[in-house]
C-alpha cells in the first residue's frame, strides 16, 4: 500500500462488491477515501488485518457508503494519528460495529468514526485506558438511534478527548460510567449535548479540573431528572 492518497474507487456509485484487502503493512494515507461515496456498497472486506497502523491510513475509507451494513474486523492494537478518522461517517445502514481492542489511543484516532451512523444502536466496547487529544471527538455524534454504550475506562483525560462524543444521540437514556479523576482542556465539552432522552447523568468524580472540561456537557438534555455531585474544590 502506497504513501499517497488512493481514492481509487471514490464516487463509484454503482460499486456493490469489493475483494479482500490483505495488506499487513499500511503506510500513510494508503486507503484514504478509497470507497468514499460508493453508495451501493453493502459489504466491506471481512478484515483489515494490519496490526500496526500509520497516519490517516483508513481516513474516510467508507464515508457516505449509505448502504453499507457489514463492517470489517479491525484487530490493530497499535494505532496512529487519524487512522480511523471519519472512516464510516454517514454509513446510515449499519446497526452494530466491530471490536476496537487497542488500550492506548493516539491523536484523533477515532475522530468522527461513526458520525451520522443514524441506524447504529450498539456501540463497541472501548477498553482504552490511555487517551490522546481528540481521540474520541465526534465518534458517535448524531447517531440518533444509539441506545447501548459501554463504560469508559480512562482515569486521566486528554484535551478534547470526549468532546461531542455522543452529541445528538437522541435515544440514549443512560450515560456510561466515567472513571476520570483528572481532566484535560475541554475534555467533556458537549459530550452529551442534545441527548434529549437522557434521564441520568454519570457520576463525575474528578477533583482536578481543566478549562472548559464540562462546558455544555449536558446542554439541551431535556429529560434529565436530577443532577450529580461535583466534588472538585478548585
Task: Tell whether the model's pLDDT for residue 169 goes beyond 80.
Answer: yes
Task: Tell whether the model's pLDDT for residue 184 goes beyond 60.
Answer: yes
Mean pLDDT over each residue of the chain, to the nearest integer:
95
pLDDT digits (tens, 9 = 90+) for 200-227: 999 999 998 999 999 999 999 999 998 8
Write down the pLDDT at residue 2: 52
Output the CA torsion sign for 201, 150, 32, 34. negative
pLDDT digits (tens, 9 = 90+) for 55-112: 999 999 999 999 999 999 999 999 999 999 999 999 999 998 999 999 999 999 999 9
Task: Tell whether the model's pLDDT for residue 7 goes beyond 60.
Answer: yes
The model's pTM is 0.95
Average pLDDT over residues 105-129: 97
pLDDT digits (tens, 9 = 90+) for 19-33: 899 999 999 999 999
Task: Tell whether the model's pLDDT for residue 126 goes beyond 80.
Answer: yes
Average pLDDT over residues 126-152: 96
Write down the pLDDT at residue 195: 98
Average pLDDT over residues 126-146: 98
Task: Tell whether the model's pLDDT for residue 6 goes beyond 80.
Answer: no
Residue-by-residue DSSP string for the chain: --SS---TTTT-TT---------SS--TTTTTTTTTT-TT--B--SB---SB--TTTTTTTTTT-TT--B--B---SB--TTTTTTTTTT-TT---------SB--TTTTTTTTTT-TT--BPPPB---B--TTTTTTTTTT-TT--B---B--SBPPTTTTTTTTTT-TT--BPPPB--SB--TTTTTTTTTT-TT--BPPP---SB--TTTTTTTTTT-TT-----------
Task: Tell whether the model's pLDDT for residue 4 goes beyond 80.
Answer: no
Task: Tell whether the model's pLDDT for residue 3 goes beyond 80.
Answer: no
Task: Tell whether the model's pLDDT for residue 128 goes beyond 70.
Answer: yes
Please state which of the ranges 39-43, 143-147, 204-208, 219-223 shows the lowest mean pLDDT: 204-208
Task: Tell whether the model's pLDDT for residue 44 goes beyond 90.
Answer: yes
Amino acid at each position: 500500500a502506497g504513501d499517497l492518497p488512493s481514492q481509487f474507487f471514490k464516487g463509484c456509485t454503482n460499486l456493490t462488491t469489493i475483494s479482500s484487502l490483505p495488506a499487513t503493512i499500511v503506510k500513510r494515507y494508503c486507503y484514504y477515501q478509497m470507497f468514499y461515496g460508493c453508495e451501493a456498497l453493502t459489504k466491506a472486506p471481512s478484515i483489515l488485518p494490519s496490526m500496526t497502523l500509520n497516519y490517516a491510513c483508513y481516513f474516510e475509507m467508507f464515508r457516505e457508503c449509505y448502504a453499507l451494513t457489514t463492517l470489517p474486523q479491525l484487530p490493530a492494537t497499535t494505532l496512529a494519528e487519524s487512522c480511523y478518522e471519519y472512516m464510516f461517517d454517514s454509513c446510515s445502514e449499519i446497526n452494530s460495529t466491530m471490536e476496537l481492542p487497542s488500550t492506548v489511543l493516539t491523536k484523533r484516532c477515532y475522530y468522527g468514526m461513526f458520525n451520522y451512523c443514524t441506524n447504529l444502536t450498539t456501540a463497541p466496547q472501548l477498553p482504552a485506558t490511555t487517551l490522546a487529544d481528540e481521540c474520541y471527538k465526534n465518534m458517535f455524534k448524531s447517531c440518533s438511534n444509539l441506545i447501548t454504550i459501554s463504560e469508559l475506562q480512562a482515569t486521566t483525560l486528554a484535551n478534547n478527548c470526549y468532546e461531542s462524543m455522543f452529541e445528538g444521540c437522541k435515544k440514549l437514556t443512560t450515560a456510561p460510567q466515567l472513571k476520570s479523576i483528572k481532566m484535560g482542556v475541554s475534555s467533556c465539552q458537549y459530550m452529551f449535548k442534545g441527548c434529549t432522552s437522557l434521564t441520568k447523568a454519570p457520576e463525575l468524580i474528578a477533583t482536578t479540573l481543566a478549562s472548559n472540561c464540562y462546558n455544555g456537557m449536558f446542554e439541551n438534555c431535556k429529560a434529565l431528572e436530577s443532577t450529580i455531585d461535583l466534588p472538585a474544590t478548585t
